[in-house]
Homo-oligomer: A and B are copies of this chain.
């Protein structure tokens, strides 16, 4: 992990490991930005995912896709989301404190993802606070942007994440 990856991982685990949540978390959390490693997208994987989960010709048939709206094969938006999760889990999630996610707001597919692209994440922590209903858990809101090798944002989303934290003093 790079320093930035360690930093966000540390931020996300701060609640459980350092007992400083939410005050220790907040200074880091407000508008802290972190980037991930990259993941490559192959034509074979685009087709394999789409045959199983999103069987539309623009995702499964390179020939048909060439004459379609996007001028070539593009990844299912749900495949891009799955690759985002892979990058997020590998780079940022702590097994010790990750609990669950109740959901996602404003998921947007902004640019097509094509075979040969290499994706990475830019994660901005928007808010981190202790849950009112479950004080043993913290709620983190963030903006995740998925960027390609040209720096274009291909997808963005605003997840809500639950993390374990120490009991209040």
Among candidates B54, B89, B100, residue contacting A85 with C-beta atoms closer than 8 Å? B54
A141, B93: Cα distance in complex, Å: 33
- CB <8 Å contact, B90 and A85: no
A95, B54: Cα distance in complex, Å: 12
Residue of B nearest to A81 (CB): B78
Q: Among residues 58 to 103 in chain A, which have CB atoms less than 8 Å away from a CB atom of chain B?
A: 69, 76-78, 81-83, 85-86, 89-90, 93, 95, 98-103
- CB <8 Å contact, B107 and A103: yes
State which size class the interface on A falls in.
20 to 34
Residue of B nearest to A84 (CB): B78
- CB <8 Å contact, B54 and A82: yes
Tell me if A34 counts as interface (CB < 8 A to partner B).
Answer: no
Minimum C-beta distance from A6 to chain B (A) = 19
Q: A57-B95, A69-B99, A69-B100 are in contact. Are A52 and B105 (CB under 8 A)?
A: no
Q: How many of these chains are in the complex?
A: 2
Tell me if A40 counts as interface (CB < 8 A to partner B).
Answer: no
Minimum C-beta distance from A23 to chain B (A) = 25
Among candidates B53, B85, B109, residue contacting A101 with C-beta atoms closer than 8 Å? B109
Minimum C-beta distance from A18 to chain B (A) = 22
Residue of B nearest to A90 (CB): B55
**Residues of B contacting A89 in the complex (Cβ-Cβ under 8 angstroms):** 54-56
- CB <8 Å contact, A52 and B82: yes
Residue of B nearest to A159 (CB): B107
A98, B69: Cα distance in complex, Å: 11
Closest 8 CB pairs of A and B: A103-B108, A53-B82, A104-B107, A53-B86, A54-B85, A78-B82, A78-B85, A103-B107
